[in-house]
Amino acid sequence: MKKWNQRYHDKFKKHSLINQVWDEKNLENAWKRVKANKGSAGIDQVTIPVFQQNLPQNLAEIQRLLKEKRYVPEPVKRVLIPKDNGKMRPLGIPTVRDKVVQQALKNVLEPIFEEIFLAQSHGYRPNTGAHEAVRKAEAYLEAGYHWVVDADIKGFFDHVDHQLLMDLVCEKVSDGRFLSLIESFLTSGIMNEGIFEASTEGTPQGGNLSPLLANVYLNHFDRRMGELGYLILRYADDILIFCKYEWEAEDALKRAGEILEGELRLKLSPEKTKIVHARKKGVEYLGFHFNGRWRRPKDKAVKKFKAEIKHRTRRQQPKNLEMVIASINPVIRGWGNYFKDGTVKTRFEKLDGYVRARLRSFRAKKRTWKVILYTLPKPELERMGLVSLSSLLK
């Protein structure tokens, strides 16, 4: 594939980047990030603790192979995880060694592209995130942009065109060895239940480099829509376009589809892409449901939270109540801290009641509800360390 389009004169590009990748300090920092992210083993079954047992030798081996141009990534391991809609999301899990190299690449590449990424993009970037995107969306609604295009790219991560992606990377990078290393990860292949599958397109979710490459690819979309005068927000492949009139939203949807299909070889999902009047129906984005006047967790997010609590408080497990509380507290804190900024007081109180009922059910098993309520009141659960959603609002 190495026919990268040299669009700009070399003075606009970054040279001699590969030596920064194998720099000892960069590899050490990359390892620390991989370790902090935890994650499962790749096809070689080497876990993070096992890799760490021989850390100096492993990092030295990575450095040597990179310097000698002999580093070859392993295929990623295909793993399927359930989505909210009941379907399965494919992930590609690299080996720990490949995660370290991908992170080392990202450490060098990210600052280069952060210089040109637009403020409309909030996903997987430093110093921004989902809450900033939602606050900005609410500000647009407050300013009168009530017609919203909720655009869903069909199978985005599986359909990124490798040649186009490398051309876009080449707009800022001219180091051939650096580019070849990126390409080697794109084409390393997939092991699916022991069977090798070639990877001719896509940048599988699960790798450290994939989110950055996704932003590189869709930055072209951000720029083109901005040039046409449209107000957009993007979190990875989740896109909202804000308009003041219905006809404007219809036009924006048409132009977005033309850019994605004609210039990036992607397609919008007709089943999931829609135009909504935010004041009347609200907008669902990044787990929230909001209309500019109120914001709360969307119904699917609440259902998912309750399902996780139910799973962790199931009766058929060899744990005592204190262990179960210790298990659900991180779920409560994480979910509550994400959703606490909004109109959530009543919803949080009801969910707290659900959590307590699940714990009483776990404790009681076959006891009567009268005994349950008497023997395990709310103050007793709090004394045992239970975190409540409502307490996160204080």
Q: What per-residue confidence (pLDDT) applies to 375?
A: 65
Report the distance separating Cα 97 and Cα 61, nearest Å: 10
**DSSP label of 156:** G
Q: Residue 387: its pLDDT value, please? A: 95
pLDDT of res. 9: 44
Please report the pLDDT score of residue 87 as a whole number: 77
Tokens 């920064």 belong to residue: 20
Tokens in use for 273? 């892409």
User: What pLDDT was estimated at residue 12?
Assistant: 52
Q: So what's the pLDDT on residue 224?
A: 98
Contact predicate 366/315, CB 8 Å: no
CA distance 66 to 348: 51
**62, 27 contact by CB (below 8 A):** yes
Instruction: Provide the pLDDT for residue 122.
Output: 97
pTM of the model: 0.90
Within the chain, which residues score under 70 in pLDDT? Answer: 1-15, 85, 365-375
What per-residue confidence (pLDDT) applies to 8?
A: 44
Token pair in block for residue 249: 């939203």
Residues 6+ apart with CB under 8 A from 102: 94, 185, 207, 208, 209
HSE-CB of 212 using CA atoms within 13 angstroms: 22
